[in-house]
Amino acid sequence: MTSHNPVPGAEASGRDVLAGSPLAFARLRESLRQTISRDRIAAALSQTCARWRSRSLDARRETLSLAARASGFSPALLAESLDALLKPFHPAAFESLAARLVTRPQLLGFIMPGNVIGAGLHEVCQALIGGAAIVLKTSIGEPHFFAALVRTLREIDPQVGARIAVQNWSRSDTDRTAAMKQACDRVVAFGTDESIAALDSGVGLIAFGSRVSGAIVAQACDATADLVARDVALFEQRGCLSAHHVFVENSHSGVARDFAAELAAALDRFAEQFPPPIALPLRAAAAIRSARENARWRRLGGRDVAMWEGEGLGWTVIYDGAADFRFSPGYRTVYITPFRNLADLGRRLAPAAGRLEAFAIAPGRLAEARAHLESIDVSYLAAPGEMQSPPLEWRHGRGALLDLFVAR
């Protein structure tokens, strides 16, 4: 097994310097022998999240500063994004979840993503309240959030905090990953479909792979555009709950085109308060430029296409009257398309079947659309502006993790 050099100050930051070692796994399993009620675990997590909702918390400010430096995201956008994530983590939600679950002690290995700070927090809370102990491997790209959060948890309730060990190693350190898979009852993995396929886990694998989200608008107006812009821009559109494509209910394409213009103006306003990154990863920048050039050529070719662009690559809105669901390059790039009826919407969503996680639905006569989205396993239906704040009992990825702890 690859040797491990402890990170200076790791214990103070919430990392367990023994994580990844047989002794660390043994300690986590031993922690399961101690009886801790679900209510107590829920209360400790509730208090931890309450502290982290405060923008004056030193640990939060330091963590966001480190994350902004590493990602290039603006500190203001990261703070707003984290507020949205933590919004549903309130005491009543924790009490409700604790009452719904049963205790099933087991050791879980979590492999966390690096694209969105705090991604996976729902599942971590669900597993802890369900009686699990967790070894949590953070991403090399985002090693700070869970380490700092667990430190807060340990301050509030050391016994609950002892059930989670946070460590960081690279994807190439296959020895350490293999040791975690061997020691754990199950592995919970977040990431791209490609990175999850590379795990080749020999234990029960619960995978949260590449998934995307969208929006449906029935009544276009400036207020709706501002809310949808928020759903697009938070976390720089890097998470599975970020809107990639907006479908506007109307048989007349001009309505959808008008909404695209409204959304472009809303993204421009949003950028004034929450600036986009100054520099983008090369692959993302190339993909955005390609999307823009494709839209230009299609418009020149007489297609029903229009485009609005922010300064640099700050944001992009592409209206395409004939498009099926499209996967955005991210970083505030969004497609707009009209649909005539439910059958038309179903055809346009078909290319993304099995990969749709959430949809924002604006007010209107859209009960049938909601039913259709639920029938194709969309896990979260939200009001515009609320896509990044799913409930604590969110059935992410069809609820594979949550169902481990639900009473049967």
Q: What is the average per-residue pLDDT within 210-231? A: 88
Once rounded to an integer, what is the mean pLDDT over residues 211-217? 94
pLDDT higher than threshold 50 for residue 400: yes
Locate 301 and state its tokens.
Answer: 């070719």
Of 102-106, 147-151, 219-223, 402-406, which gets the smallest average pLDDT? 219-223
Q: Cα–Cα distance between 100 and 405 in angstroms, integer? A: 9
Mean pLDDT of the region 380-403: 94
Report which secondary-structure segment, H or E, holds 42: helix 38-53
Query: Could you tell me which CATH class the domain 212-382 is placed in?
Result: alpha beta
pLDDT tens per residue, range 170-186: 888 888 888 888 889 99
Residue with tokens 């946070």: 166
pLDDT of residue 195: 81
pLDDT at 2 over 60: no
Confidence class for position 388, pLDDT limits 50, 70, 90: very high
CA dihedral 86, 88, 91, 95 (to 10 degrees): -130
Least confident of 37-51, 118-132, 228-242, 350-364: 350-364
Q: How far apart are CA 164 and CA 135, in angstroms?
A: 6
Sequence ranges of the domains in the chain: 13-210, 212-382
Grade residue 104 by pLDDT with cuts at 50, 70 and 90. very high
Distance CA 132, CA 402 (A): 12
Cα–Cα dist 402/259, whole Å: 37
- In terms of Cα–Cα distance, which of 128, 109, 138 is closest to 14? 138
Dihedral (CA of 81, 267, 321, 282) sign: negative
Residue pair 61/55 in contact by the 8 Å Cβ criterion: yes
Examine domains 13-210 and 212-382 and report if their fold is the same. no
Are the C-beta atoms of 242 and 387 separated by less than 8 Å? yes
> What pTM did the predictor assign?
0.91
* Homologous superfamily assigned to 13-210: Aldehyde Dehydrogenase; Chain A, domain 1 (3.40.605.10)
Q: Is the pLDDT of residue 50 over 80?
A: yes
Which residue type sits at 212?
V
Q: For 142, how many CA atoms within 13 A lie in the half-sphere containing its CB? A: 22
